[in-house]
Amino acid sequence: MSTTTAVGTPSRLGLPKWAAPAGVAVVFVAAYLVFRGTGTLPHDKEAPQFLAVTDLREWIDDHRNDNPLFLYFLNYIRLFVGALYDLFQTVLHALGWPGITGVMGALAWLAGGWRIGLLAVAGVSAFGFLGLWQHSVDTLALVAVAVLLSLAIGIPIGVWAGLSGRVRRAVTPVLDVMQIMPTFAYLAPLALFFHIGAPAGAIATMIYSIPPAIRITALAISGVSPTAVEASSSLGATRWQTLFKVYLPLARSTMALAINQTIMMALSMVVIANLISAPGLGEEIIRGLSRAQVGIMLPAGVAIVIMAVMLDRMMMAIARRGPHTKPSKIDLVGAGVLGAGGLVLIPVLPGEWPESWTVNVVAEVNDAVLWAETTWYPVTTFIKDFTTYALLNPLEGLLTSAPWWLVALAVLAVAWRVSGVRPALIALGCLLAIALLGTWEHAMQTMTTVAVAVLATLVIGLLLGVAAARSPRFSAVQRPLLDAAQTMPAFVYLLPALALFETTRFTAIFASIIYAVPPVVRLVEDGIKAVPAEVVEAATSAGSTPGQLLWKVQLPMARRAILLAANQGIVMTLAMVVVGGLVGAGALGYDVVLGFSQRTDFGLGFVAGIATVLLGVMLDRITQGADRRPSPRKRMST
Amino acid sequence: MGDSPDSAAITVEGLWKIFGSRAQKVLDSEDRHLEPAALREKTGCTAAVRNVSFAVRPGEVFVVMGLSGSGKSTLVRCLTRLIEPTAGEIRIGGEDIGRASPARLREIRRHQVSMVFQHFGLLPHRKVIDNVAYGLEIQGTPKAARHARAAEILSLVGLDGYADAYPDQLSGGMQQRVGLARALAVDPQVMLFDEPFSALDPLIRRDMQAEVIRLHREVGKTMVFITHDLSEALKLGERIAIMRAGSIVQLGTAEELVGAPADDYVADFVRDVPRSHVLTLRWISRAPEPGEPLDGPEIAAGTVIKDAIAVASASSRPIKVVDDGELVGVVDRVDLLTFLSGQDIAVKAGA
Ligand SMILES: Nc1ncnc2c1ncn2[C@@H]1O[C@H](COP(=O)(O)OP(=O)(O)OP(=O)(O)O)[C@@H](O)[C@H]1O
Ligand SMILES: [Mg+2]
């Protein structure tokens, strides 16, 4: 940190600024050497707290139909969501592929013109073409239910938060925590309360996708021009009239973004929800992941990506539309014909996509992957082994053999230095809770993986971000790729990782790097570009070389953006590393997966899920100073 | 002020508005007399309106002026409780606004008082005609009726043919005409203007001022007009209240403000006004000196000094200043020249 300060301020003793941190580091190393191997907390699969949770689940499963909480409350929710899912599924199946194609095409046409309409038609056809019609329809129904419920709950809360600062202050911390919770962590508690299957999956998806619905709606509402609102009340409008005639119409295009984000989150979760037996494309993907067969996963992954792109383009078209543009006559007629055509064809054509029109690529893909694995074996093995032996193993050895109190002290010191007292105490609390839960060793292993992945992510992200900031041409090439990458559901990144590295610890690292690099690149690029042009000009006219300009001006001034990028990178990496439990990442992620596949290990999985949340909050708090602490620029100018 | 409160369109008595969580406490303590900056330092509260009283006559254009932050917007919003006053009494058409229930307050806003805003506050997703009809719409007027009324008002403000445009397709001046039309459409008795023309460029501003003067002549509404532009105030206002740090420091006609500023703040405000355009002969007429000829032209005492110059240049005799046929004094060429040269700082006090 201290090296980024543009003007070094010598401390009182005349020592250089790095002396204090270096001294602390030396003390820690010495303490480690002295106390190594003592105070460790080895993993115990049979720890009483795990068994207790497993027993609780057994008890709940036995009493699901006679305990009042379940009988009169939770079961009703499950039944309601289940009925909603059945309804959607029935309707979609009744529409069949001609109906769905026609209706989706028509809606897309109305949303964004014939191109988007065509995209939707092609997209829906692709589901059938890939031989995944049934699964895709199930996923669509599940997503529809989850998104609908998310919006039904999220939009009113968001509107309320947008109107009242007090509500906003109450909701924000909850949303903050929800957004750093990895997908996995939601599953076990939901399985506990709502059993497994489509309803539980829909509820998990709904909970996961609700934060953007609330947050962006609140943003949209609070961004509505206060004069328009005042003008409305000055004419004697009631609060409801102002809400419906002023706030909601003016917030419309931002709220379309909220819906879009909600859909994208739902699409990430809906796949993982297959771990608690939610139907749909997730079945194929999880099956492919667990057998390490890219051939099974790839079509399903492609189908999910197509679904994401299709819905994203539709919602973005709505969001981008001017405040008062209406679809033209031609669009109305075209969309009408397409929709009606689809509906008319329902009785004529078979509802299921015809078997003969599908392609089956499982074998070919598996062969191609095998070829890639063998051809690139030397390269991939070198990368894998290098990271494993040079980084992962030493760091993991360090973290697991150090006494727990030393690690806790180190976390406290770093968090304090970077983010301040309060976040540091919260981080410490999380770490102690992890120790108490009995997941210390696995948490340390997961943290090792996260640390290595974050390191790589930051190095790559900084390089690409700096390159993009300095070369407009490079940036122009890279932007669309980043945009595309950010609309893809998270686990899609496991596919290439699995294809290249099979199931190892490194697979998860690779996946999380490609998952987290795009936002990091973007933040770094924007941060550097935000350095005022006069400052760059002044430095250049003083004779700085491009390198000096970068190191002495641009990077220090973009410090906040870079720290924010680190924070984002860490949160995203953790989410992915945990999902990597499915493909050999081990530790907490594997515990969670195990909890779903083995009834006797449910408790372990449940507690591991809680531990990942605690780990996420801890890592977030450690790096959160990015937002709060004044940058050196500010400190100097005050 | 000379008006009994009953005959006034708006009366305001002892109005206070203090922003902040401890507003009531500040009001009840001696702190309320502190200067705004000191008050904010001490309590964190801002006194935006401090003990303001005035009355507006029916059909009058009442102008409130003051520097930025002097509390003008807050004052005008307190009138219909868009901002809840901390203390004081407000009557509009004799009715106590402070005691009005929320429903009654909405009725008043719907039918009696409407407002025009500095930044227009138009609804971008609605056509011009639907913006103008908005007030009627929330009253529940059927579509055909409200559109007919809106079209009528649009032609009154000179926007014929723009009914189906959207606000962002209009220039700033035209947008403010829409704002004006929206306020007029509900046919209120009182119209409030909060710096309606500050966001417009000078030429358009002049057009719009002329527009307001014309409308005032045609529809005869009571108007409260906020501005920080003195020439605008002089052009429109029958009476002008000057605010400083939340209080009214002087209230009177343009002539009174220019001729007898209450303090340095007001004097500073009106310093650049060409006084011969505002002051009347009453301010410089003097008793005839013994032996001075009294057979010169006669002019009413209410004539602006600038208009007396032509008369004086036509006749070398001292001008007789008369009020209701009675001689109140004389003015000769030397008096006029002295006044115009700015030597005559000490005009007669009072009127
Ligand atoms: N909602 C509010 N909360 C706290 N203070 C406020 C609020 N609204 C206004 N103020 C304060 O009250 C004082 C008067 O503000 P007001 O907007 O009435 O001034 P103004 O005379 O209309 O100025 P301008 O010419 O800039 O519009 C200012 O000091 C302002 O900061
Ligand atoms: Mg104002």
pLDDT of residue A548: 82
- Report the distance separating Cα A84 and Cα A90, nearest Å: 10
Paired tokens of A353: 């996509």
Full-model pTM: 0.81
Please tell me if residue B330 touches chain A, with a CB cutoff of 8 Å: no
Paired tokens of B128: 């011009």
Nearest CA in chain A to B115: A234
> Going by C-beta distance under 8 Å and a sequence separation of 6 or more, which residues neighbour residue A424?
A412, A415, A416, A621, A622
Please tell me if residue B121 touches chain A, with a CB cutoff of 8 Å: yes
B222 in Cβ contact with B237 (< 8 Å): no
Paired tokens of A403: 């006494």
Chain A nearest-CA distance from B194, in A, is: 11
Nearest atom (ligand 1) to Cα of B74: 18
- Report the distance separating Cα A372 and Cα A379, nearest Å: 11
pLDDT of residue A346: 76
pLDDT at B16 over 80: yes
Please tell me if residue B213 touches chain A, with a CB cutoff of 8 Å: no
Of B77, B114, B127, the CB nearest to A235: B114
- Report the distance separating Cα A304 and Cα A135, nearest Å: 10
pLDDT at B351 over 60: no
Percentage above 70 pLDDT, chain A:
95
Per residue in A310-333, pLDDT (tens digit) is 888 888 888 887 767 777 888 888
Paired tokens of B159: 């926007």
Burial of B207 (0-12, 13-18, 19+ CB in 10 A): middle
Measured from the alpha carbon of residue B23, the closest ligand is 1
Angle at B222 between CA B53 and CA B63, to 5 degrees: 55
Among B73, B117, B247, B248, which residue has the most ligand 1 atoms within 8 Å of its CB, making it the best to mutate?
B73
Which helix (H) or strand (E) element contains residue B168?
none
Nearest CA in chain A to B112: A235
| pLDDT classification of B48: cutoffs 50, 70, 90 | very high
* Number of inter-chain CB pairs under 8 A, A vs B: 76
Residues in contact with ligand 1 by the CB-under-6-Å rule are: B 19, 46, 48, 66, 68-74, 228
Taking CA atoms, A280 is separated from A151, A217, A272, in Å, by: 22, 29, 10
Per residue in A429-478, pLDDT (tens digit) is 998 888 888 888 888 888 888 888 888 898 999 899 888 888 888 888 88
Beta bridge partners of B15: B52
- Report the distance separating Cα A106 and Cα A158, nearest Å: 30
Nearest CA in chain B to A253: B125
**Closest by Cα among B73, B61, B116, B8 to B237:** B61
Angle at B82 between CA B77 and CA B86, to 5 degrees: 80
* Residues of B whose CB is below 8 A from A246: 123
pLDDT of residue A400: 80
Q: Strand B247-252 to strand B239-244: parallel, antiparallel, or no bridges (unpaired)?
A: antiparallel
pLDDT of residue B51: 92
- For B94: left if phi > 0, alpha if psi spans -120 to 50, otherwise beta; the answer is left
* Residues of A whose CB is below 8 A from B187: none
Paired tokens of A429: 């609390």
pLDDT at A353 over 60: yes
pLDDT at A360 over 80: no
How many CB atoms neighbour CB B178 within 10 A? Answer: 23
Q: Do B138 and A227 touch (CB under 8 A)?
A: no
pLDDT of residue A68: 76
| pLDDT classification of A627: cutoffs 50, 70, 90 | low
Of A234, A245, A324, the CB nearest to B80: A234
* Residues of B whose CB is below 8 A from A250: 123-125
Q: Do B138 and A228 touch (CB under 8 A)?
A: no
Crossing angle of helices A183-194/A198-222, nearest 10°?
120
Among A230-234, A259-263, A563-567, the minimum mean pLDDT is found in A563-567
Nearest CA in chain A to B124: A323
pLDDT at A305 over 90: no
Nearest CA in chain A to B121: A228
* Closest protein CA for atom 25 of ligand 1: B68
pLDDT of residue A625: 67
pLDDT of residue A472: 84
Calculate the average pLDDT of chain A: 82
pLDDT of residue B112: 93
- Report the distance separating Cα B22 and Cα B19, nearest Å: 8
Per residue in A390-443, pLDDT (tens digit) is 888 888 888 888 888 888 888 888 888 888 888 888 889 998 888 888 888 888
pLDDT at B350 over 70: no
- Report the distance separating Cα A115 and Cα A234, nearest Å: 44
pLDDT of residue A58: 77
Chain B nearest-CA distance from A467, in A, is: 40
Which alpha helices (H) appear in A292-420, and where do they start and end? 294-320, 329-345, 362-375, 377-386, 393-401, 404-419
B198 in Cβ contact with B227 (< 8 Å): yes
Nearby residues for ligand 2 (ion, Cβ within 5 Å): B 73
* Closest protein CA for atom 2 of ligand 1: B19
pLDDT of residue A163: 92
pLDDT at B294 over 90: no
| pLDDT classification of B239: cutoffs 50, 70, 90 | very high
Q: Does the predicted interface ipTM exceed a cut of 0.90? A: no
pLDDT at A155 over 90: yes
| pLDDT classification of B3: cutoffs 50, 70, 90 | very low
Among A410-424, A571-585, B13-27, B135-149, the minimum mean pLDDT is found in A571-585
pLDDT at A257 over 60: yes
Edge-first strand listing for the sheet containing B222-227 = B113-116, B190-194, B222-227, B61-66, B239-244, B247-252
Taking CA atoms, A627 is separated from A5, A161, A564, B98, B232, in Å, by: 17, 22, 7, 45, 47
pLDDT of residue A98: 83
DSSP state of B287: P
| pLDDT classification of A637: cutoffs 50, 70, 90 | very low
**Closest by Cα among A216, A250, A222 to A324:** A250
The larger pLDDT score, comparing residue B248 to residue A339, is at B248
Count of H-run helices and E-run strands, chain A: 32, 0
pLDDT at A274 over 50: yes
Please tell me if residue B122 touches chain A, with a CB cutoff of 8 Å: yes
Paired tokens of A220: 């949209």
Calculate the average pLDDT of chain B: 87
pLDDT of residue A388: 81
| pLDDT classification of B6: cutoffs 50, 70, 90 | low
* Residues of B whose CB is below 8 A from A233: 82, 109
- Report the distance separating Cα A250 and Cα B123, nearest Å: 8
Please tell me if residue A245 touches chain B, with a CB cutoff of 8 Å: yes
What spacing in Å lies between the alpha carbon of B110 and ligand 2's midpoint? 23
Taking CA atoms, B21 is separated from A166, B18, B156, in Å, by: 14, 9, 45
| A552: phi then psi, degrees, rounded to nearest 5 | -95, -20
Q: Do A324 and B125 touch (CB under 8 A)?
A: yes
Residues 77-96 of B with CB under 8 A from A: 77, 80, 82
Per residue in B105-160, pLDDT (tens digit) is 999 999 999 999 988 889 888 999 999 999 999 999 999 999 999 999 999 888 88
pLDDT at A613 over 90: no
| B58-71: burial string, b at 16+ Cβ within 10 Å, e else | eebbbbbbbeeebb
Per residue in A119-135, pLDDT (tens digit) is 998 988 888 888 888 88
pLDDT of residue B148: 95
pLDDT at A93 over 80: yes
